[in-house]
Amino acid sequence: MGALTTNILIIDDIRDRGFDAAKGKRTVAVRFGAGWSRGEFLLLLAFAYLSPLWFWLGLDFSAWVLLPWLTLPLAIGTARAVLTQDGYELLLPVTPRAGRLLLAYCALLATGAALA
């Protein structure tokens, strides 16, 4: 859940990097570039979706803990937008989409953990 929450902040950093650079802010996206931030986004996304697999295989939870995988289509669409869109106007609607992804993922993870 923390990885997906951080991804919302990463999207905002990528989106606002032009404004932040002009103001002298030294965010990760300003310091290392949008490519670095996009890589960080993908790494955290992978971590979020591999964690339930670890709960199931490594910690002996039941397969119900894999319910968050139902949000993969939304995650893939969000990732595609983060990787291909550039500029404030194009990335503006991606932040609420990432918020909806986080909400759905958390609800399904909580349900799966309760059923496990």
What would the pLDDT profile of 19-64 be if each residue is shown by its tens digit? 899 999 999 999 999 999 999 999 999 999 999 999 999 998 999 9
Q: How far apart are CA 5 and CA 2, in angstroms?
A: 5
Maximum separation of any 2 CA atoms in the chain, in Å: 50
Which pTM was predicted? 0.92
> What's the angle, vertex CA 58, arms to CA 99 and CA 48, rounded to 5?
15
The structural domain count of the chain equals 1
Cβ atoms of 97 and 74 within 8 Å: the answer is yes
- Domain interval for residue 29: 2-115
Structure tokens at 26: 């030294």
Distance, first Cα to last Cα, the chain: 18
What would the pLDDT profile of 59-88 be if each residue is shown by its tens digit? 989 999 999 999 999 999 999 999 999 889
